[in-house]
Amino acid sequence: MANPHLHFKTNYAVSSKIEPFYKGGKVQISKDEKYIFCTCGSRVNVLEITTGKVVHSVEHDDQEDITSFALSCDDELLVTASRALLLKQWDWKQAQCTRSWRAIHNAPVASMTFDSTSTLLATGGCDGTIKIWDVVKQYCTHNLKGSSGVVHLVQFHPDVNRLQLFSSSLDCGIRLWDLRSSKCVCVLQSHYSAVTSLSFSPNGGTMISSGRDKICTVWDLKTQKAKRTVPIYEAVEGVVVLPTKKDFSQIGVKSKDLHFITAGSKGVLRVWEASTAQCVHTQTLPSTLSLSSEEENEDNPRSLTYLLHLPTSSRLATVTAEHNILFYQLPGLTTQQQFVGYSDEVLDVKFLGKGDSHIVVATNSCQLKVFELLTNSCQILYGHTDTVLSLDVFKNGRLFASCAKDKSVRVWHLDSESGRVCCVAQGCSHANAVGSITCSRLKASFVASGSQDCTVKVWDLPPDLPTTGDDVHQLTVRATEKAHDKDVNSVAVSPNDKLLASGSQDRTAKLWSLTGEGTLDLLGVFRGHRRGIWAVCFSPVDQVLATSSADGTAKLWSLQDFSCLKTFEGHDASVLKVIFVSRGTQLLSSGSDGLVKLWTIKTNECVKTLDAHQDKVWGLHSSRKDDKMVTGSADSNITVWVDVTEAELAEQQAKQEDQILKQQELSNLLHEKKYVKALGLAISLDQPHTVLTVIKAIRRADGGSKLLEETVLTLRLDQRESLLRFCVVWNTNARNCLDAQAVLQVLLTHVPPEELLQYQGARTHLEALIPYTERHMQRIGRLLQASMFLNYMWQKMRVVGASSSTGQDEDMDTTPLDLNPPLFVIDKSGNQDKQDHSDGDEDEDQHFTVEKEEEDGEDDEVSVTKKASDSDRGVKNGGATNGQSDSESEEEEVSEEEDAEGDEMTVKSVKCQLAPPKSQCQTLMS
């Protein structure tokens, strides 16, 4: 039975994101060692080392990829070069471009660097030339020619007084340039492949160069000759000379001779003694794999592409081929921090740890990444030798399992105190890639896996599973079953650990019993999907199974009779994942369309569609407290969502309370006749009807026109803009057009046209006002015509029993009337207040009341309709009868015209001065 206090979820909001910040290229660390600068397409991202978050980002306007960049030694200037041959100088802390100029190169800039004074900038181009720029005086000082091919390396000598520049290009030589004479002093020849980095000794007299020809060369810069060639036996990408005044005995430095560290294709750091060309220390691999197996793999994902030295904190930073940035603490070379620059395609993601403090991510890689959500710090887990495809977490949150294309299954343990993760068990028994894995729910007793070899296996876990990782337990298979005819895409275990469900590419899902000894017993088959099934999931409370398929639907199945209970349609492409939330009353599904949808099972309704990804959402998982979820997509983004249902409900209630208080305050202000404050408050509520009520109250007050003018002109600019927008709405209704026109009159009279056109949306509003205003003018014109006709009819009519009725002819009476004019009252609805509140009432009969002051001074009020009926009965005068019929037909015609127009307007009074026929009728409308 569902909890009566359970509230359905209505929305999730993005809590945090783990996005790619480095996709290859140059990496540089600031002098104060607080920030990492790295390229990511057309941007240079600035990553704060302590938090692991991108704090600044600069991007070229032309969206061209950045080919190189350089940060000055004082951390003040950042210069970038793009494929458009533009150099831009940035104030990177404000992300503002302070200067841009065209590079004189004929091809993109491949390398650039600052000298130690931060005044000279060297750029090496793909056209084989080197330019030296004075960034202070802003001009090109040198144009160095002579290199062959792309100049991929430029570096100043650290001693400013020498004014020397080193460069390397495709000819594998190292050119030494004297900037005083702008000439190449010599070419240092030793390497037979591309030179990757240069490092100088503390005194500046010795230089070490590394290359992809698997050697490092020690150069004497005084004699400009090679002192020694050190064979490294791997393609070297980076070299760093160790300081001589520090103790590095932990890494084999026993003498005061020159030592250096290399990083290369094997993915390990090595310490070398320059004088003897011997390796004195090799970094220990954090993996179960041996070094020999790594050497055999040419495309080693651990291979290092950059090596950077942080002298202040005595650390080393390395960049791997998979765009990971790792920090090591000297002298022990212990791993300190790890950042994942680019995750490629995220295939699965799960919450991990106590309180769901971590997430474990499987990407298009053989490495697993464990992120701490609070700091974004990452651990990279080595163990699998091919792409990891699926993950699952045990109930305690400390153990989790993974499976990969290497046909293996591994179990990992997270230490709650230290946060370190190690592999504690593994099993290899499948004949093909293992695509799905699931863990037992009650306790850590077994895992089940589904493979592309069409089998499902159940692996037993020992009760005393090791937690240190020193001894990796070998898993044993309890049961193996040929489950499907095609790849098994998903497996799931029921909450009581007695049932196992499997979903396959053969479009079926199957239910298995786990109670048998050494076997899996088939209980039933779920058929109904038109394409392969991507995911299966048991309900936590009901005997129901959820499946998602490539046919774009998710289905609920009964475990009793294996029938389909409900089908959820809404995704435009394959539904890749489905999970239960809200204690089994709602579903979350993710699809190839990049969308995540929230469904209410009872109503089959899609409550919310969440759009935060640009590609397939492979990973979807909910936290144990059911208040968060995490999604991972092929666009390399990992998004953590938080349930904001209660927050939105509380916010909505607070808004309603605030609205009630403001409405009460508005009523008080109107009662106190504080119209300026009342109008400002009504505009802040953004309710046109409420503002109209205030305008009506102002116009009804004494001196309404002047008061309205003073009130409107007192408003702020933004309030006037809102008022003009409301006038457009009011002007569409005949009942409210007079109030709209009154406000418009004030604005058009006192606001200059130039200022009025500056209002937001002013042109659109004025265009909308014109047609309705013309329509109102046409209606008033017709009304004026009708009133003049009534004037004529009244003069032709005779009152029964009048002394002058028999002695006058049929001509119009042109005798001037007394000073008091008659009053015509035309009331279609009969009640002005009733008409204001009811638009749908039918028109009532029109009543014409004629007031005429008799010659003897007595005032008689005679109903026109009554006179017409009296004339029908007593007076047989044809003229009077014809006049009455004409009046009735005209009334019907006027009524029909007003009904056709749909205007419900009450003319309060029309006063006509009865004068000779040539006099004009004045109509006053209020």
Q: Are 124 and 110 in contact (CB under 8 A)?
A: yes
Q: In this predicted model, what pLDDT tens digit does every residue of 618-636 receive, in sequence order?
A: 999 999 998 999 999 999 9
Q: Taking Cα atoms as reference points, which of 380, 349, 378, 347 lies closest to residue 364?
A: 347
pTM over 0.85: no
Which tokens go with 744? 């418009």
For the segment 366-381, the average pLDDT, to the nearest whole number, is 88
Q: In this predicted model, what pLDDT tens digit does every residue of 640-673 receive, in sequence order?
A: 999 998 888 888 888 888 888 888 888 888 788 8
How many other CB atoms are there within 10 angstroms of residue 621's CB atom?
23
The full DSSP string for 330-378 is TTTTEEEEEEES---SEEEEEEESGGG-EEEEEESSS-EEEEETTT--E
- At residue 795 the predicted structure's pLDDT band, cuts being 50, 70 and 90, is confident
For the segment 910-916, the average pLDDT, to the nearest whole number, is 34
| Angle at 25 (CA atoms; ends 339, 258), nearest 5 degrees | 80
Q: What are the CA-CA distances from residue 882 to residues 740, 788, 876, 877, 878 (Å)?
A: 42, 18, 11, 9, 6
What are 196's strand-pairing partners? none
φ, ψ of residue 883 in degrees (nearest 5): -60, -40
Q: Are 533 and 508 in contact (CB under 8 A)?
A: yes
For the segment 180-200, the average pLDDT, to the nearest whole number, is 91
What pLDDT was estimated at residue 715? 85
For the segment 750-768, the average pLDDT, to the nearest whole number, is 85
What pLDDT was estimated at residue 5? 54
Q: What are the CA-CA distances from residue 377 to residues 29, 56, 349, 369, 630 (Å)?
A: 18, 18, 16, 10, 17
| Alpha helix stretches (DSSP H) within 838-908 | 864-874, 878-901
Most confident of 496-505, 846-855, 876-885: 496-505
What pLDDT was estimated at residue 126? 92
Q: In this predicted model, what pLDDT tens digit does every residue of 254-267 receive, in sequence order?
A: 888 889 999 999 98
For the segment 695-719, the average pLDDT, to the nearest whole number, is 85
- How far is Cα of residue 770 from the mean position of the Cα atoms in its chain? 40
- How far is Cα of residue 151 from the mean position of the Cα atoms in its chain? 40
Instruction: List, in order, residues 6 or more apart from 651 with CB less than 8 Å away.
Output: none
Which has the minimum average pLDDT: 26-35, 57-66, 126-135?
A: 57-66
What pLDDT was estimated at residue 41? 84
How, if at all, do strands 195-200 and 206-211 pair?
Answer: antiparallel
3-state secondary structure labels for all residues of 516-565? CCCCCEEEEEEECCCCCEEEEEECCCCCEEEEEECCCEEEEEECCCCCEE
Cα 81 from Cα 65, distance rounded (Å) = 9
**Between 867 and 520, residue with greater pLDDT:** 520
What pLDDT was estimated at residue 794? 84
Instruction: List, in order, residues 6 or more apart from 918 with CB less than 8 Å away.
Output: none
Q: In this predicted model, what pLDDT tens digit does every residue of 42-80 receive, in sequence order?
A: 889 999 988 888 899 998 887 788 999 999 998 899 999
Cα 555 from Cα 861, distance rounded (Å) = 79
Q: Are 117 and 161 in contact (CB under 8 A)?
A: no
How many other CB atoms are there within 10 angstroms of residue 174's CB atom?
24
Average pLDDT over all residues of the chain = 82
**Type of residue numbered 680:** G
Q: What are the CA-CA distances from residue 575 to residues 450, 536, 548, 640 (Å)?
A: 19, 11, 5, 20
Cis before 331? omega within 30: yes
Which has the minimum average pLDDT: 13-17, 728-732, 921-925?
A: 921-925
Q: Are 245 and 225 in contact (CB under 8 A)?
A: no
Q: Are 600 and 627 in contact (CB under 8 A)?
A: no
φ, ψ of residue 700 in degrees (nearest 5): -80, -20
3-state secondary structure labels for all residues of 742-810? HHHHHHHHHCCHHHHHCCCCHHHHHHHHHHHHHHHHHHHHHHHHHHHHHHHHHHHCCCCCCCCCCCCCC
Q: What are the CA-CA distances from residue 121 to residues 109, 136, 137, 919 (Å)?
A: 12, 10, 12, 92
Instruction: List, in order, residues 6 or more apart from 6 with CB less than 8 Å away.
Output: 582, 583, 585
**Buried/exposed 586-596: b ≥16 CB within 10 Å, e otherwise:** bbbbbbbbbbb
Cα 334 from Cα 320, distance rounded (Å) = 16
Q: In this model, does residue 818 exceed pLDDT 80? A: no
